[in-house]
Amino acid sequence: MRSSLEKLLKKNIPLLADGATGTSFMSMGLEPGFPPDLWNVSHPEKPSSLHRSFAEAGSDIILTNTFGANRPRLKLHNAESETYAINKAGAKIAGRVAENSKREIVVGGSVGPTGELFEPMGELTMKDCIGYFEEQIQGLKDGGADLAWIETMSSTEEIEAAARAAINVGIPYVFTASFDTAGRTMMGIKPSKIHEATAHLKISPLAYGANCGVGASDMVLSILEMTSEILGAVIIGKANCGIPVVKGKETIYSGTPELMAEYTSLAINAGAKIIGGCCGTAPEHISYMRNAIDTHVASIRPSMEQVIEKLGSLASPPAKEGAKGLRGKRNRGRR
């Protein structure tokens, strides 16, 4: 059955989001470099099957298959004219799964980065970026998405543009950044400052936080930093399933279902209220994470020593004060 994030948050219990889209689709035959967003139109049964698997595994929130469905990203595949239709279809597919589920499920419209750089480092303007996101988010809203789920961002400008687009379209929003560069985003934002990206806007996000990044241990560190800055904030932590290891043509993520369950408990104790998985996280992992939430016993905030002991060493330790994130155009990965 359908629900809203506002309604589920009022229950004041940890919520479980879903897992990976791109890496899960690879097991369904997705070719490297092919945008899975196009499957919303050509093969709707595939995203429907994945959404259903995550819902059955216990997710409270499922995200549409639209991470790269903005005009600049789709233009790389000569599909920019289909932006609205792809997003509307993606929201409808996820919505049907939610409606047929016995669980209360929220449909988040996935909104990923454009892959472009803002002026003066690139050619992207705030006005154009807002327009790109408005087109995408309008399709998601018209398809029935409950909110815009802005994710894997690295710059305050792009977070602001997507948030302004959601506000203009008239739909609630959340946002997450990827702290994958020595404890900061690629553009140098620290977890403790990420809330500032939308602090000046007339409508605040329902939640904010982190996704993707470089591993579960690093994600818990980001959560600890975010929750120490603003008390009472609804923090999201959607971690990669361990560390990626390349084996031939395949990329295997090292995280086991047991590790992701351990991550879930630590993330809750660190202050996260919405927990999920990103790259490499399959329905089996989500099932273990569901059980970790349902059986969780509250404890004190973990120390980094405890996090490392249970989840392994940090993959990208924080830079010393004064260091900057890497600045340059980069093709952001898909969750």
Question: pLDDT digit string (tens) for 142-174?
Answer: 999 999 999 999 999 999 999 999 999 999 999
In this structure, are residues 159 and 198 in contact, taking their beta carbons and an 8 Å threshold?
Answer: yes
Query: CA-to-CA distance for 335 and 204, rounded, in angstroms?
Result: 24
Question: pLDDT digit string (tens) for 24-35?
Answer: 998 899 988 899
Q: In the structure encoding, which two tokens stand for residue 14, read together?
A: 């940890």
Query: CA-to-CA distance for 213 and 178, rounded, in angstroms?
Result: 5
Query: CA-to-CA distance for 328 and 330, rounded, in angstroms?
Result: 6
What pLDDT score does 150 carry?
99
What pLDDT score does 282 carry?
97
Number of Cβ within a 10 Å radius of residue 294: 11
Which has the closest alpha carbon to 215: 325, 316, 76, 127?
Answer: 316
What pLDDT score does 333 carry?
46
Query: CA-to-CA distance for 39 and 17, rounded, in angstroms?
Result: 22
CATH number assigned to the domain with residue range 5-311, chosen from the 4 options 3.30.1360.180, 3.10.25.10, 3.20.20.330, 3.50.50.60: 3.20.20.330
- Per domain, the residue ranges of the chain are 5-311
Q: For every residue of the chain, which 3-state class applies, written as one string? A: CECCHHHHHCCCCCEECCCCCHHHHHCCCCCCCCCHHHHHHHCCHHHHHHHHHHHHHCCCEEECCCCCCCHHHHHCCCCHHHHHHHHHHHHHHHHHHHHCCCCCEEEEEEECCCCCCECCCCCECHHHHHHHHHHHHHHHHHCCCCEEEEEEECCHHHHHHHHHHHHHHCCCEEEEECCCECCECCCCCCHHHHHHHCCCCCCCCCEEEEEECCCHHHHHHHHHHHHHHCCCCCEEEEECCCCEEEECCEEEECCCHHHHHHHHHHHHHHCCCEEEECCCCCHHHHHHHHHHHHCCCCCCCCCHHHHHHHHCCCCCCCCCCCCCCCCCCCCCCCC
Query: What's the whole-number average pLDDT of the chain?
Result: 93
Residue appearing with tokens 């008390």: 231
What pLDDT score does 320 carry?
65
| pLDDT digit string (tens) for the chain, length 335 residues | 999 999 999 999 999 999 999 889 988 999 888 999 999 999 999 999 999 999 999 999 999 999 999 999 999 999 999 999 999 999 999 999 999 999 999 999 999 999 999 999 999 999 999 999 999 999 999 999 999 999 999 999 999 999 999 999 999 999 999 999 999 999 999 999 999 999 999 999 999 999 999 999 999 999 999 998 777 899 999 999 988 887 777 778 989 999 999 999 999 999 999 999 999 999 999 999 999 999 999 999 999 999 999 999 999 998 765 444 333 333 344 55
Question: pLDDT digit string (tens) for 42-79?
Answer: 999 999 999 999 999 999 999 999 999 999 999 999 99
Query: CA-to-CA distance for 81 and 139, rounded, in angstroms?
Result: 12
Query: CA-to-CA distance for 226 and 244, rounded, in angstroms?
Result: 25
CA 138 to chain centre: 19
In this structure, are residues 67 and 112 in contact, taking their beta carbons and an 8 Å threshold?
Answer: yes
User: What global pTM score does this model have?
Assistant: 0.94
Radius of gyration of the chain (CA): 18
> Which amino acid is it at 54?
F
What pLDDT score does 208 carry?
98
In this structure, are residues 153 and 162 in contact, taking their beta carbons and an 8 Å threshold?
Answer: yes
